[in-house]
Amino acid sequence: MTDNAPKETPKGDRIAKVLARAGVASRREAERMIEAGRVRVNGEQILSPALNVTESDAILVDGNLVSEPEPPRMWMYHKPTGLVTSDRDEKGRETIYDKMPEDMPRVMSVGRLDINSEGLLLLTNDGGIKRKLELPSTGWLRRYRVRVNGRPSDAALEPLRKGITIEGERFQPMTVTLDRQQGANAWLTVGLREGKNREIRRAMEAVNLSVNRLIRISYGPFQLGELKSGEVEEVRRKIVRDQLGLEIEDASGTAQKKPKTVQRFSKRRSSMAGKPGKPRR
């Protein structure tokens, strides 16, 4: 006789989701870590992410115990040039994590800025937030101040506004404003909603312009404002809740204060307001 009784749903959550929630990595990255044999559950190495775990399970990644996740938090970081947006670099270059304040929890970047780019980079301790903000469907506008070598006319920038195809890859229309000419260089403000690899640099090359400075000044409602290069500032939890539609247990709506001994951490109150950062001259 065939047993047609419904199977009991496994308790807990998928392990990749739990690792992402704990700030170890994004869900996809966590799955790769599992497949590489870097994760153990209750002492047993696992090689497949098709496993549910509960609070009673002991999870180790690279031999380190994964702690209970904190409430979702976000930070704004003014990334300088010369740093790689990665937790590891095969060429041994410095990463943004080498420059984080010592008491920062484990965080992940929302998207990336290449080594020669600077400006606003969002950080979070929650893999769900990272994934949500990186999805194209989120559609948040990212704005950049871009310095290019050359004397572009408004007409020369029109292909970027209409959307162009480069080596078979379609780039969606950008908002491009010619701000001013400064000697041999011109300053532009560029807005886009996708954020493909080196998108602005490649798009400018397609219209015969060379980017020699690129500063991200906003990501959706989050503004670089007056945040200085190398500074990190936590976004108030109430703002994280309101902007992302999250339920956060901490009802105070305030970010956790950092010790004054941390020099790189901004002492100003986190704010969504602020004018776009001005480039150094």
The residues that are catalytic are: 114
Strands (E), 10-155: 13-14, 39-41, 44-45, 52-53, 59-61, 64-65, 74-79, 108-109, 118-124, 142-149
- 202 Cα distance to chain centroid: 21
Amino acid at 128: G
Tokens 């200085």 correspond to what residue? Answer: 228
Whole-angstrom Cα distance, residue 260 to residue 145?
32
How far from each other are the two terminal CA atoms of the chain, in whole angstroms?
Answer: 81
Residue whose C-alpha is closest to residue 141's, from 172, 169, 165, 115: 172
Q: How far apart are CA 143 and CA 274, in angstroms?
A: 14
Asked if 30 and 43 count as a contact pair (C-beta separation under 8 A), the reply is: no
Q: Do the beta carbons of residue 216 and residue 143 sit within 8 Å?
A: yes
- CB under 8 Å to 154, separation ≥6 — which residues? 178
Q: H helices of the chain, where?
A: 15-21, 27-35, 127-134, 158-162, 199-206, 237-244
Q: What count of other Cβ atoms lies within 10 Å of the Cβ of residue 143?
A: 22
